[in-house]
């Protein structure tokens, strides 16, 4: 069965909502007049970013790099915070890492929580874009009943892998995909003795792990103090598994979005009340 697609005009508005959301989370929601949601996403993403920087002494900035044109600093790149594009650019101008002042970053007391919060701001910004896209569809093509719009399905997947499919009535896929993502992640953590969710050791792998969402973040917080005491036999495989699980969750969220979109469009338009 071919998936249903929104009409061209709606697709263009969805594209604009995604672009605006990446620029500034919450901005894309204004296209569908969801001002309350827009404000919530804005505060959530910027609050997480700036609170995270404060808690970690801005040591996140040590992992980023300036992208320059003709010796002029243009864009600061830092994964995954860069998905909150304007917020990160402002932060990169305002903050200086305490490490450049001679402070040992491992001695910053709330560093792990700070990195988790600022990284979450980037991931949340990506899902704010999905939510804004779903809101545009819901505005342009209203449907009867309490149907789940695609953005809600995607965001639910970020909270818990498989939850987006569960909300759209796909219980088998919810358990299979959610169980696979969580199982692969926990197995990988086990192989790495729960010390592999660490930005300082593997900043790029860490960015992938962050896309696992809320359940991954809780495990990361719980294991924040864990450090390797020996070279483990399969710790590299563990790192690969946990990072793959995070990236697989993005695929699961995309699928939840598209299935919910198909259901939404297949439901037919809301009839005008007589």
Partner 1 sequence: MSSDLLGLFLLLVVFSAALAVIVSGYRDDDPARILRGTVRRSLSFLGAVVAIGVVSLGVSWFLS
The one among 131, 173, 196, 209 contacting partner 1 by CB under 8 A: 173
Q: Is 89 in the site for partner 1 (CB under 8 A)?
A: no
Q: How far is the CB of 184 from partner 1 (least distance, A)?
A: 5
Question: Does residue 33 touch partner 1 according to CB under 8 A?
Answer: no
Please report whether residue 211 would count as binding partner 1 according to CB under 8 A. Answer: no
Give one word for 213, left, alpha or beta, with left for phi > 0 and alpha for psi -120 to 50: left
- Shortest distance (Å) from residue 172 CB to partner 1: 5
Applying CB under 8 A, among 10, 89, 180, 200 the residue interacting with partner 1 is 180
Name residue, tokens 């699928």. 255
Q: State which residue, 2 or 104, has the beta carbon closest to partner 1.
A: 2
Taking the complex as a whole, how short is the minimal distance between the CB of residue 181 and partner 1, in angstroms?
Answer: 8
Position 153 contacts partner 1 (CB under 8 A): no
**Shortest CB 237 distance to partner 1, Å:** 5
The verdict on 196 binding partner 1 (CB under 8 A) reads: no
Q: Is 176 in the site for partner 1 (CB under 8 A)?
A: yes
Is 1 or 272 the residue whose CB approaches partner 1 more closely?
A: 1
Applying CB under 8 A, the site for partner 1 has a residue count of: 24
DSSP the chain: -PPP---HHHHHHHHHHHHHHHHSTTSGGGGGT-HHHHHHHHHHHHHHHHHHHHHTTTGGGGG-EEEEETTEEEEEE-TTGGGSHHHHHHHHHH---GGGGT--GGG-TTHHHHHHHHHHHHHHHHHHHHHHHHHHHHHHS--SSSPPPHHHHHHHHHHSTTHHHHHTT-HHHHHHHHHHHHHHHHHHHHHTTT----TTT-HHHHHHHHTT-HHHHHHHHHTTT---SS--TTHHHHHHHHHHHHHHHHHHHHHHHHHHHHHHHHT-PPPPP-
Closer by beta carbon to partner 1, 94 or else 251: 251
- Site for partner 1 contains 184 (CB under 8 A): yes
In the region spanning residues 91 to 110, those forming contacts with partner 1, defined by CB under 8 A, are none
Q: Which parts of 221-250 interact with partner 1 (CB under 8 A)?
A: 233-234, 237, 240-241, 244-245, 248
For 67, phi and psi rounded to 5 degrees?
Answer: -100, 120
What minimum distance in Å lies between the beta carbon of 238 and partner 1?
A: 9
Is 251 a binder of partner 1 (CB under 8 A)? yes
Strands 72-77 and 65-69 come out as antiparallel
Judge whether 195 and 263 are in contact, CB under 8 Å. no
Binding site for partner 1 (CB under 8 A): 1, 170, 172-173, 176-177, 180-181, 183-184, 187, 233-234, 237, 240-241, 244-245, 248, 251-252, 254-255, 259
């Amino acid at each position: 069965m071919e998936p249903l697609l929104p009409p061209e005009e709606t697709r263009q508005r969805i594209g604009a909502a995604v672009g605006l959301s990446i620029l500034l989370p919450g901005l894309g929601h204004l296209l569908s007049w969801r001002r309350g949601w827009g404000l919530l996403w804005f505060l959530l993403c910027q609050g997480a970013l700036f609170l995270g920087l404060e808690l970690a002494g801005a040591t996140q900035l040590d992992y980023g790099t300036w992208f320059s044109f003709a010796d002029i600093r243009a864009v600061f790149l830092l994964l995954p915070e860069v998905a909150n594009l304007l917020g990160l650019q402002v932060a990169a101008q305002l903050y200086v890492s305490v490490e450049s002042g001679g402070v040992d970053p491992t001695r910053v007391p709330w560093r792990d929580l700070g990195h988790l919060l600022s990284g979450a701001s980037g991931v949340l910004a990506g899902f704010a874009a999905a939510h804004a896209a779903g809101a545009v569809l819901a505005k342009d093509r209203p449907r009867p009943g309490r149907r789940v719009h695609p953005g809600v399905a995607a965001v639910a997947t970020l909270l818990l892998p498989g939850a987006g499919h569960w909300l759209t009535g796909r219980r088998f896929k919810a358990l299979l995909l959610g169980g696979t993502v969580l199982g692969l992640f926990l197995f990988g953590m086990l192989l790495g003795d729960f010390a592999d969710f660490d930005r300082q050791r593997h900043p790029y792998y860490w960015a992938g792990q962050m896309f696992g969402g809320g359940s991954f973040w809780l495990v990361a917080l719980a294991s924040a103090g864990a450090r390797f005491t020996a070279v483990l036999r399969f710790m590299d495989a563990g790192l690969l598994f946990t990072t793959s699980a995070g990236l697989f969750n993005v695929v699961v969220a995309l699928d939840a979005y598209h299935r919910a979109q198909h259901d939404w469009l297949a439901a037919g338009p809301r009839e005008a009340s007589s």
